[in-house]
Amino acid sequence: MKTSSSGRRATGSAALSLALAACAGSAPGAVAEAPPGVSNVPLRPAVDFAFDSLDDRPVSSEATRGRLTVLVFVTTGSLLAQAQVDFVVAMARNDGDRVNYAIVALEGRENRELVELYRKALSIPFPVAMADAETLAGASGFHDVGVVPVTVLLDRAGRVAWRADGRVAKSDEIRGAMRGL
């Protein structure tokens, strides 16, 4: 997946973002940017997923249900994704077992060793997994994750409650989204 240094896809994503922003206020059911601490994503059915973990710790809808879950979709070459990982690693140290955290690498299977080096280099203490073909194609319950990083907060039922695409979501913003869930 080709991205620029800002983490955006090189093809038309800026135009799509502008078009979506222009339509947000007028389309029925459109979701406007929510204030911090309030979901900017309408609750949909729970997302069903099972990613190939680099170790024995499962990264799946079944394993994460019952607790808030923060998933960060990354590519190993994105500096924005590395910054996002740093924020969630710090959060995980404070949260212990109260919140699930996982990184999902948007890399082909041939890059598994690279992803393992990424995990070690960034000292990621929680599970790191490889995305499946459906997620890489944007056809999973997480929809398009082509603009990295994508940080997703799942509620206890496994529904996407909050999401940040193509930017670094700081700890206080993620924590604000967690409040009330």
CATH, residue 30: 3.40.30.10
8-53 residue pLDDT tens: 443 333 333 333 333 333 333 333 344 444 445 566 789 999 999 9
How many structural domains comprise the chain?
Answer: 1
Helix/strand/coil for 87: helix
Domain that holds residue 131: 13-178
Which residues in the chain land under pLDDT 70?
A: 1-43
How far apart CA 63 and CA 24 sit, in angstroms, is 34
Q: Which residue, 118, 108, 46, 116, is CA-closest to 81?
A: 118
Residue 36 domain flag: yes
